[in-house]
Chains A and B, each alone.
Chain A
Amino acid sequence: AQSVTQLDSQVPVFEEAPVELRCNYSSSVSVYLFWYVQYPNQGLQLLLKYLSGSTLVKGINGFEAEFNKSQTSFHLRKPSVHISDTAEYFCAGDNTDKLIFGTGTRLQVFP
């Protein structure tokens, strides 16, 4: 099945701590991969994308992700989170005719 799996539904973390949000994709999904963030009552905002080239991708707000073809993973990381990073994060893969989204990870940053 063509799918994107986010392994954690919720990730609690203290402010200034590092965080990793995990994402795995099925091998049948195109290797165009994305991370989006959704704040309450808003749409999705693109954090970063992997289309080709360097496997380490840097995005907005200090986030980065690493494409790992052998492990079919595209984990999102931030070395030091802020309260304002509290949001829902979605991993997505391009299935040629549409984006397939994971179920989302709720990042909760505590002071």
Chain B
Amino acid sequence: KAGVTQTPRYLIKTRGQQVTLSCSPISGHRSVSWYQQTPGQGLQFLFEYFSETQRNKGNFPGRFSGRQFSNSRSEMNVSTLELGDSALYLCASSHRGASSGANVLTFGAGSRLTVL
């Protein structure tokens, strides 16, 4: 069973540009979550998508957005990049359905974004 796949693994952008990161969840997982990991702030929740709808959102500015497709693949976009957006962006998928229950996340290897 293939794991969570994130592309690209590494990328370098300059301030003001935008970036799109992609995530393919484990087959059968319909929930996809995104986290930002930085040395200073640790792991912070960005958003969660389920059945093409954003179900939960963290405390990030509107420059951070995402979407989910009908095959559960997800993308996140960051517009007008700032130096502080340099981070490891982690995607995770889970079995969690529409009802509440434990959110057991399986993570991808991450996309490391460097903003110059």
A residues adjacent to B (C-beta < 8 A): 32, 34, 36, 41-46, 49, 51, 90, 94, 96-104
Contact = CB atoms under 8 A, between A and B. Distances in A.
Interface residues of B, number: 23
A49 B95 CA distance: 15
A99 B42 contact: no
A90 B43 contact: yes
Nearest to B58: A98
Interface string B100-116: 10111111111000000
Interface string B42-57: 1101001000000110
Given A90-B43, A97-B55, A101-B42, A43 B105 contact: no
Contacts of A42: 109-110
B21 interface: no
